[in-house]
Structure 1
Amino acid sequence: MSRLDELNQDMKIAMKAKDKEKLSTIRMLKSALQNEQINKGDELTDEDELTILSREKKQRVESLNEFKAAGRDDLVVKLEKEIGIVDTYLPAQLSEEDIREIVQDTVEQTQSSSMKDMGKVMGALMPRVKGKADGNLVNSIVKEELNK
């Protein structure tokens, strides 16, 4: 079942339960997927859907940080709930230990030894962790490994 079908089913459930917050978030996610499908002019692959949902989560996390800095606790609570809902449609996130193992493995595979090889490592690494790990965390771990 595609994520779009899953969103449709969950949208019906949220409507029946009169869960306005969940319904609103699901509609935004569904809209983002449908817009991308229209722009692409073809069915979305699982990887495409994952990319779009990851982008939606990233936007919310960035907004959350800005709202926290501005002291807008009302919006912080709302965005935290939205992020939780978006997370249900994304694969389970890798732990920091798992990311470190994958980074070390990738550094060895690409025979990288310095920060000059950062692009090569990230290029090989990101397809392996796409949607499963925060890019900023991955980036910092790669820098740490290359600076050893």
Structure 2
Amino acid sequence: MSMKAQLVEDMKAAMKSGEKDRLGVIRLINAAIKQKEVDERVEMTDALVLAVLEKMVKQRKDSISQYDAAGRDDLAAIERYELGVLEAYLPAKLDEAAIQAAIDAAKAETGATGPADMGKLMGVLKPKLAGQADMGLVSQLVKKALAG
């Protein structure tokens, strides 16, 4: 079942069980997906749905840090709940050792040797690790691997 179909099924289940908060978050996800479909005139694949979810997760994390800094625990709690629902749809995150193994494999595949090859290496890694790793961490590890 595609992620898009899974979201529709989860929305129906949340409606039936009366989970209003969860239903609201799932509706937000579906609205973001529909908006991307309309704006870009594309059929949403699982990879594109993952990209939308990752963007929403990043937005929630930014909001949480800003609300915490402003002392708005009530709003931060809402964002944390939404973040929990969003992260449930993302694949399990890879640990640093698994990311390093993927970097080593991509390095061998592309023949990358120095910092000038970072773009080439990230171009190979991004589709492989989408949704499974924080790309900021991947970028740091790639820089370290290419520097030494």
TM-score, normalized by length of structure 2? 0.88
Partner in structure 1 of residue 30 of structure 2: 30
Aligned to 1:128: 128
Q: Deviations over 1:85-144 (max 9, x none)?
A: 111212221112111111122223222232222111111111110111111111111122
Q: Which residue number in structure 2 is paired with residue 71 of structure 1?
A: 71
> In structure 2, what is the Cα distance between the partners aligned to 1:109 and 1:69?
44
Pairs aligned (count): 148
Partner residue, 2:143: 143
Aligned position for 2:55: 55
Check the 8 A contact 2:4/2:46 in 1, yes or no.
no
Gap regions ≥5 residues in structure 1: none
| Residue identity opposite 2:28 in structure 1 | M
- Specify the alignment match of 2:98 in structure 1: 98
The root-mean-square deviation of aligned C-alpha atoms, in Å, is 1.7
- 1-side partners of 2:60 and 2:37: how far apart? 21
Q: How far 1:27 sits from its partner (Å)?
A: 0.7
Q: Does 1:41 align with 2:41?
A: yes
Tell me what 1:88 maps to.
88
| 2:114 match | 114
Q: Which moved more, 1:32-41 or 1:94-103?
A: 32-41
Percent identity of the aligned residues?
Answer: 38
